[in-house]
Every structure is written in structure tokens, then in C-alpha cells.
Amino acid sequence: MSGREVGNTQDFVLGRGFQEVGGFTALLARDGSRRLLAELFADPDRPEARPQEAYRELLASLAPGWTVRLLQVTWPDPQPRQAFLTQVEAWDGGGGLQTLRQGLGLFLDGFPLPYRRRTLLEFVLPPGVEGPGWWGGVGGMLERYGLILTPLGQEEVQALARHLLNPELE
């Protein structure tokens, strides 16, 4: 290893704003670089989902000097709790069942939300016109392997930065 710093979260969370680049929203980092972010999804039930091969092709397609970071973060996920509470509210009956419903609601309100893992791809735009073109084609390249690339917009990047900087505030 040459001792070169690969990246750090501080550059990400101390962004200086946003810029539109080739139809994508780029985060302007404190060092002046422009960073594009997207979330990766894979359906484990699909036999064509082959993330190892997709990552291999992604890395092979990079030009020398380009920087890509793969981030895996935990994120609060309210959907399972909300689905459970919706089912509980649909229970018929009164008396003891009503007390059970209220108790479950109070119990769940006292505990933090469950978390899920999110896989994010960060691409530092190089100077020139090749970077946005490459980023625009990455989704199609990964789709062949059963992965879905969803670019993040400004609000999603801001929420992610807040979560990375202050994860306990959620």
C-alpha cells in the first residue's frame, strides 16, 4: 500500500453544496471534488443476482486514477414495525384484546427502530467528460448481474450525511 488515503467520512459529511452533473446530483466535498452517490440493491431470490461478478466488472471498468468507494451503513427502518402495528390494529375483539393492543403499542414506542443495511456506491468525478458518461452506464452494467443502482438525490444525500455524522439522533 502506498500510504495514500482512500477516503474518509469527514469529506462526505462536510459537503459544500450540490451541483447538477450530467443529469445527476453531485455533492461538492470540502476538498472541491464532486461525488456521485447511489444505492445498490440485489434481490436474493433472483438466481441472476451475482454481486461478486458485478463488483469485479465495476472495478475492471474504472480508468486509472478514478476513485470509487463502497459503503455499507446501517439505517433505521420503520417499515417492519409499522406493518406489525397495522396488523395489530386490525384485530377484532374488545376487552383483553384491546388491552393487549395498547400494551404492544406502548412497548414498541419504548424501543428504538430496527436497522437494515444499505449498500452505497460513491464515485469521485474525475476531471473531463468521461466520468459522467461512465456513471450513466454503470446501472446498465450492474443490471446484467441482478443488481439495481438507484442514484441518490439531494434530499437523500443530506439525510445520509446527517445519519453518518449523528447516527444516535434518528
pLDDT of 150: 93
Count of residues in the chain:
170
- Between CA 79 and CA 16 the distance in angstroms is 32
Q: Residue 27 pairs with which residues in a beta bridge?
A: 18, 35
Distance (Å, whole) CA 106 – CA 18? 41
Q: Which helix (H) or strand (E) holds 27?
A: strand 24-28
Domain termination site, one of 65, 88, 109: 109
* Same domain, residue pair 26 and 100: no
Q: Are residues 143 and 64 in the same domain?
A: yes
Is 34 in the same domain as 105? no
**17 vs 166, which has greater pLDDT?**
17
The dihedral formed by the CA atoms of 29, 41, 168 and 107, expressed in degrees to the nearest 10: 160
- Does residue 2 fall inside a structural domain? no
DSSP helix/strand/coil, 69: strand
4-8, 63-67, 74-78: the lowest-pLDDT one = 4-8
In this structure, is residue 37 part of a structural domain? yes
List the CATH number of the domain containing 16: 3.30.70
List pLDDT tens digits, range 95-113.
778 888 888 888 887 877 7
pLDDT tier at 8, thresholds 50, 70, 90: low
Specify whether 36 is located in the same domain as 88: no
> Where is 155: in which H helix or E strand?
helix 154-165
Overall number of domains in the chain: 2
What percent of the chain clears pLDDT 90, i.e. is strictly above it?
Answer: 25
Classify the phi-psi angles of 17: left when phi > 0, otherwise alpha if psi is within -120 to 50, otherwise beta.
left
pTM to 2 decimal places? 0.71
| Residue 25: domain span | 9-77+115-169
**128: in domain:** yes
- Whether residue 160 lies inside any domain: the answer is yes
pLDDT value of position 56:
94
Is residue 68 a part of any domain in this protein?
A: yes
Q: Which residue has the higher pLDDT, 15 or 27?
A: 27
Q: Which residue has the higher pLDDT, 105 or 20?
A: 20
